[in-house]
Amino acid sequence: MAPVKVTKICCIGAGYVGGPTCAVIALKCPHITVTIVDLNQARVDAWNSPDFALPIYEPGLEEVVRKARGRNLFFSTNVDKAIEEADLIFVSVNTPTKKSGVGAGFAADLNYVELATRRIATVATSSKIVVEKSTVPCRTAESMRTILEANSKPNCRFDILSNPEFLAEGTAISDLFSPDRVLIGSLQSQEGIDACESLKQVYSNWVPQERILTVGLWSSELSKLAANAMLAQRISSINALSAICEATGANIDEVSHAIGYDSRIGPKFLKASVGFGGSCFQKDILNLVYLSESLHLPEVAAYWRQVVEMNEYQKRRFSKRVVDTLFNTITGKRIAVLGFAFKADTGDTRESAAITLIKDFQSEKALVNVYDPQVSADQIWLDLQEASPLSSLENIQKQVHICGSALEACKNAEAVVIATEWKEFNNIDWEAVYAGMNKPAFVFDGRLLVDAEKLRKIGFTVTTIGRPSSVL
């Protein structure tokens, strides 16, 4: 046996992971043909659009696709053809948290992973390297291998690798260009090590050798969950301290700055906010909770569950602070929510704090204006309907209005809530905003974004997360 020289790659799934990752591989490896496939025709059409109106907003992504598309990067719905021709197949499908059945609310739903695996086994007539790219629970590769081996054709061999992504939305392209590490997990058999070397050679086209880590298959799967859980834990920790700061008169910015100087801790992921969101943190922690419970480790499960509970508490605490500050009622009052994406520089809204805040404001019978520079109106309505399944879209639209600019959203509002840290919110003409608002005019900064003192001089009453309501 020897490592296979990879000349054709297929990626099943054209979402937030598969699309950017394989687009960068195509850019950096012009000698490799990369085909990204998806059953969603509209998504594939968007990737192929003449004006490059891509289905994902990510800084730098359009430039990558412009350079590689049509050269050695292709997007298609012809899944079977791409599987058959590929030497190496990335499985990069969605793995949402289960909504029903065993493990509902905690375990990952692996239906799409299984469907993709079965499709590979059915279609492939030659040996393939199959790479887990989706975030999956530990030992998923074992299930994939069982399915592939049970359904494979004669003389058709499958080697399974784990290659988790560690991308941060908003900086995904720079993360891919210069990753902290590329992690590849394999079975420690000769065949597994050879398959690992084949993928390593792909990344070696631009990633330094010392940043490509090769480990066992199960260690790789667990490392992804562990990394996201540890990062989320830091956010929940600083958010817990922000509540103490508000009660004692301390300033969370000063506290986080001070503790970040400790070389054992470091400054990253110590910025307080209204709460973390995105497709990974909460899902992966809940996955870790479920894994711990399955292994009969209830204390471990309870430990990690608290990270998610702290995050939910932070959202509830922030929306309650809005109500308390607006004289204990927001019924009939107009609240401008600036930002709907879970973080800046992405159009992703999964687990966004804004969804929870708006739902809370709706329950208090407030009127809500929403503006986000990248999230479409269709996506906002979809998320709000999912958050309030007992309310019709018509009823939601009686309380919520989507605006085309921040200035429009703030007009005639009692309060402005900053839910996403878009840079443009720091550059708003706040004097014009103040002139168009009802008085007293309130600003609630859930992202430590604006210059509170500057806004107070204009006339706003400013409440900033992690700081006391009265400036000491």
Annotated ligand binding at 221? The verdict is no
Q: What's the pLDDT tens digit per position in 111-162?
A: 889 999 999 999 999 999 999 998 777 778 888 888 998 888 888 999 999 9
- Crossing angle of the two packed helices 217-248 and 298-325, in degrees rounded to 10: 40
Mean pLDDT, residues 362-379 taken together: 97
Q: Which amino acid is it at 296? A: H
Mean pLDDT, residues 1-14 taken together: 91
Mean pLDDT, residues 345-374 taken together: 97
If pLDDT is split at 50, 70 and 90, which confidence band does 215 have? very high
Determine what percent of the chain is predicted with pLDDT higher than 70: 99
User: Which of 93-107, 206-220, 428-442, 455-469 is the least confident region?
Assistant: 93-107
Q: What's the pLDDT tens digit per position in 281-330?
A: 999 999 999 999 999 999 999 999 999 999 999 999 999 999 999 999 99
Q: How many whole angstroms separate alpha carbon 28 and alpha carbon 470?
A: 53
Where do the structural domains in the chain lie, given as residue ranges? Answer: 8-207, 280-464
If pLDDT is split at 50, 70 and 90, which confidence band does 469 have? confident
Average pLDDT of the chain to the nearest whole number: 94
What tokens appear for 157 in the block?
């061999």
- What is the phi/psi pair of residue 158, to 5°? -125, 130
Annotated ligand binding at 432? The verdict is no
Strand 182-186 to 158-162 pairing: antiparallel
Greater confidence, 381 or 151? 381
Q: How many whole angstroms separate alpha carbon 368 and alpha carbon 399?
A: 6
Query: Looking at the chain, how many residues does it have?
Result: 472
What distances in angstroms separate CA 435 from CA 19, 157, 299, one per listed residue?
44, 69, 54
| Known active-site residue 280 | yes
> Are 443 and 461 contacting, i.e. CB atoms less than 8 angstroms apart?
yes
What tokens appear for 133 in the block?
């790219």
> Per the residue annotation, which of 11, 29, 196, 280 is the catalytic one?
280
Annotated ligand binding at 321? The verdict is no
Q: Is 8-207's fold the same as 280-464's?
A: yes
Q: Write out the CATH class of domain 280-464.
A: alpha beta
List strands edge to edge, sheet with 442-445.
Answer: 400-402, 367-371, 334-338, 415-418, 442-445, 461-464
* pLDDT score, position 471: 45
What tokens appear for 368 in the block?
């809500």
Q: Which fold has domain 8-207?
A: Rossmann fold (3.40.50)
Q: What's the pLDDT tens digit per position in 240-289?
A: 999 999 999 999 999 999 999 999 999 999 999 999 998 889 999 999 99
DSSP code string of 45-58: HHHT-TT---SS--
Half-sphere CA count of 98, side-chain side, radius 13 A = 15
Annotated ligand binding at 354? The verdict is no
Largest CA distance in the chain: 76
Annotated ligand binding at 272? The verdict is yes
* pLDDT score, position 472: 38
Annotated ligand binding at 18? The verdict is yes
